[in-house]
Amino acid sequence: MSNLKIRNYELLPFDLAAKPIMEDYLRLLDLDISDYTFASNYLWLSNGSGFYSIIDDTFCFFLLTNGDISMLLPPIGLRDNIIKAIPTCFNLMVYNNNSNMNTKIYYVDESIVNEFVNELEEHTEIFDLLTDYIVERALVDYVYETSDLIELKGNSYSTKRNEINKFRRIHPDHILETLDVGKHADGILELLNKWIADRMKYLPAEQTEQFLDGIFSERSAIKRMLSAYNDLGLIGLVIIDNGQLIGFTVGEKINSDTASVIIEKTDFEVLGCAQYVFREFSKVLFEKYQVTRINVGDDMGFENLKKVKMSYRPSLMIPKYVIYKR
C-alpha cells in the first residue's frame, strides 16, 4: 500500500510497522478507553483504509473513505501537543475532503474535549456554541471492577451465577484452553458461521440488512485477528465441549490498570456459555496483567447490547465524543 501526500504531510499506511510508533505515543496519554490501542483499530479496519502521520509531535490516525479522510481517534501524545494538533488535522481534512461530511474526529475523550474547547473559547462549556466546531457526545465505554466480574457477589449477580452453574452441570466435561491460532482457527470460523446462521433465524426481517453489514465487518476483524494474533500481543480463551469449539474471546491490556475485551462469540444455543466464558476470561486477564478494571467497549448504539452490558453493573461509564468541522 502506497503513502498519501496531502499538502506537506506524508501519510503512511497503518500497518503492523506502525504498532510500536503508536504505542510510544499512547503511553504519553494513558487513557482507559478501549479504542486507544493499536490492536483495536487494526482489527476493525479494512485493508488499505488506514493511514497515519506525525503532526505537532502527535500520532494522527486517519481513515480514508472514497477519497475523503477523517480521524478515528484524536491526535495521540502529550496533551499540549494534542490541542495544537487538532486544528492542524482539521485544516488537513478540509483541504483534502470534498465536503465537511467526513471532516470529523471520532472517539475523543472528555478531558481532551474540555481542554480543546477551553483553548478555543475561554469559559465555553462543551455543548455551548462554538464558532468553527460542533462537539457531540456519542457512545460510552462500559468499565467494570475486575473483582466484581470474577466473584459475581450479591443479589444483582444471582442470575449470572445461576446461568454459569447450569452450564457447568449440563457440560461437565468442557475444556478451557488458551487461544492458539494454529490449533483453534478453524473452530473459531466454524463457530462464527454457526452464530450468524442462528442469529438470522430469530432476526426481524427489517433488521437483516443492518445485521449483515455489521457481521461483514466483524468477520473481517476476526480473520484479521487470526492472521496477526501473535504480532498484536493479544490474549484469548476458547471453550470446547465434546470436541466442538463453542466459545472464544480475545482481549488485551490497555494500560497498567485496565484490560479490554475486544471480541467474544459463543454458541447462541448453549445457555450460560457466554456468562461462563466472560467470567473465566476476566480471571485470565487478571492473572496475566493484574488489572483492577476491565473495559468491554461501547454498545454501538444497540439497545440489546446496552442491556447486557448494564446487567453487569459497570462501575464506570466513559463518554466518547465526536468533533465536527462546521
pLDDT confidence tier of residue 48, bands split at 50, 70 and 90: low
Distance of CA 212 to the CA centre of its chain: 19
Reported as a pLDDT band with limits 50, 70 and 90, residue 57 is: very high
Do 143-317 and 4-131 fall under one CATH topology? yes
4-131 has which CATH code?
3.40.630
Q: DSSP of 42-95, one letter per residue?
A: HHTSPTT-EEEEEETTEEEEEEEETTEEEESS--BS-HHHHHHHHHHHHHHHHH
- What pLDDT, on the 0 to 100 scale, is given for residue 46? 66
What's the pLDDT score for residue 202? Answer: 75
Query: Which sequence spans correspond to the domains of the chain?
Result: 4-131, 143-317
Of 147 and 131, the structure prediction assigns the larger pLDDT to: 147
- The answer, as to whether pTM is greater than 0.75, is yes
Name beta bridge partners: 245. Answer: 240
Residue 29 has pLDDT above 80, yes or no: yes
Task: State the DSSP code for 266.
Answer: E
Tell the CATH topology of 143-317. Answer: Aminopeptidase (3.40.630)
Q: What is the pLDDT of residues 158-214, one digit of tens each?
A: 999 999 999 999 999 999 999 999 999 999 999 999 998 888 877 777 777 777 777
Residue 48 sits at the vertex; the CA angle it makes with 43 and 50, to the nearest 5 degrees, is 65
pLDDT tens-digit map of 79-122: 999 999 999 999 999 999 999 999 999 999 999 999 988 877 65
**CA 168 from centre of chain:** 30
